[in-house]
Amino acid sequence: MKKSVIISALTIAGLTAGAALAGTMDDVKARGKLNCGVTTGLVGFASPDANGEWEGFDVGVCRAVAAAVLGDASAVEFVPTTGKTRFTALASGEIDMLARNTTWTFSRDVDLKFEFTGVNYYDGQGFMVPKDLGVGSASDLDGATVCIQTGTTTELNLADFFRSNNISYEPVPIETNSEAMQQYLAGACDVYTTDASGLAASRATFEDPDAHVVLPEIISKEPLGPLVRHGDNNWGDVVRWTLNALITAEELGVTSANIGEMSNGTNNPEINRLLGTEGTLGEMLGLDAEWAKRAISVGGNYGELFEANIGVNTPIGIARGLNSQWTDGGLIYSPPFR
Amino acid sequence: MTMQTETAAGNFRLSMLISDTRYRSYTFQLVAMVLLFGSVGYLISNLIFNLETAGLSISYEFLGEPAGYDINQRLIEYNSQSSHWRASVVGVLNTLLVAVVGCFFATIFGVIAGVLRLSNNWIVAKIMAGYVEIFRNVPVLIWILIINAIFLVSLPQPKAFKSRGGNPPEAEMFLDAFAFTGRGIYMPKPVLQGGGLLVVGVFFLSIVAMFLYRRHARNLLYSQGKDLPTFWPSVGILFAPAILLYALMAFTSELPIVLEYPALKGFNFKGGIWARGSFVALTFALAIYTGAFIAENVRAGILAISKGQTEAAASLGIRPNRIMSLVILPQALRVIIPPMISNYLNLTKNSSLAIAVGYMDITGTLGGITLNQTGRAIEAILLLMAFYLLISLSISAIMNVYNKSVAIKER
Whether A288 has its CB under 8 Å from any CB of chain B: the answer is no
Structural domain including A64 reads 23-122+223-328
Boundary residue ending a domain (A186, A219, A252):
A219
| Domain annotation covers residue B331 | yes
Please answer yes or no on whether B266 and A183 come within 8 Å at the CB atom: no
How far away is chain A from the Cα of B364, in angstroms, using its nearest Cα?
A: 9
Select from A80, A261, A90 the least CA-distant residue to A175.
Answer: A80
- Position A191 scores a pLDDT of 92
Residue A145 with chain B: CB contacts under 8 Å = 183, 267-268
Interface with B, mutate which of A106, A190, A233 (most B CBs under 10 A): A190
Give the Cα separation of B53 and B62 in Å (integer).
21
The answer to whether residue A18 sits within a structural domain is no
Kindly state whether A161 is in contact with chain B, defined as any CB-CB distance less than 8 angstroms.
no
Is residue B286 in some structural domain?
Answer: yes
| A183 and A233 together in one domain | no
Number of domains in chain A: 2
In the 8-state DSSP scheme, what is residue A338? -
Point out the residue among A15, A159, A183 whose CB comes nearest to the CB of B70.
A159
C-alpha neighbours within 13 Å on the C-beta side of residue B369: 33
Share of chain A above pLDDT 70, in %: 93
Eight-class DSSP state of B157: P
Candidates B267, B356, B358; nearest CB to A144: B267
Q: Please give the share of chain B, as a percent, with pLDDT higher than 70.
A: 96
Asked if A213 and A249 sit in the same domain, the reply is: no
Tell me, yes or no, whether A233 and A212 share the same domain. no
CB-based burial, A86-114: b 16+ in 10 Å, e otherwise? bbbbbbeeebbbbbbbbbbbeebeeebbb
Contact yes or no for A186 and B182 at CB 8 A: yes
Return d(Cα A157, Cα A163) in angstroms, integer. 10
Do A111 and A234 sit in the same domain of this protein? yes
Distance CA B188, CA B369 (A): 32
Question: Which residues of chain B have a CB within 8 Å of the CB of A141?
Answer: 267
Chain A positions touching B157 (Cβ under 8 A) are 187-188
Whole-structure pTM value:
0.78
- How far is A222 from B66, CA to CA, in rounded Å? 21
Q: What mean pLDDT do residues B271-300 have?
A: 91
CA distance A253 to A213: 36
pLDDT score recorded for residue A17: 42
CA distance A155 to chain B (A): 6
Span B96-151, pLDDT tens digits: 999 999 999 999 999 999 989 988 899 999 999 999 999 999 999 999 999 988 88
Whole-number Cα distances in Å, B177 to B42, B162, B283 = 62, 15, 22
CATH number at residue A38: 3.40.190.10
Residues A97 and A29 in one domain: yes
- Establish if B172 belongs to a structural domain: yes
Amino acid sitting at position A188: A
Tell me, yes or no, whether A243 lies in a domain: yes
Q: How many domains does chain B have?
A: 1
Q: Is the ipTM of this complex over 0.95?
A: no
Q: Does B110 touch chain A (CB under 8 A)?
A: no
Q: Of the candidates A199, A219, A239, which is a domain's last residue?
A: A219
> pLDDT of B147-183, one tens digit each?
988 888 888 887 777 776 667 777 777 777 788 887 8
pLDDT at residue A16 greater than cutoff 50 = no
Give yes or no for residue A1 having a pLDDT over 50. Answer: no
A188:B375 CB<8 A: no
Nearest-10 crossing angle of helices B140-154, B277-304:
130
* Residues A182 and A250 reside in one and the same domain: no
Asked if the structure places residue B170 within a domain, the reply is: yes
Which pLDDT score, from 0 to 100, does residue B15 have?
A: 77
Does A118 share its domain with A241? yes
Helix, strand, coil tally for chain B in percent (to 5): 70, 5, 25
**Average pLDDT of the residues in B82-95:** 92
User: What residues of chain B lie within 8 A of the CB of A171, using their CB?
Assistant: 69-72
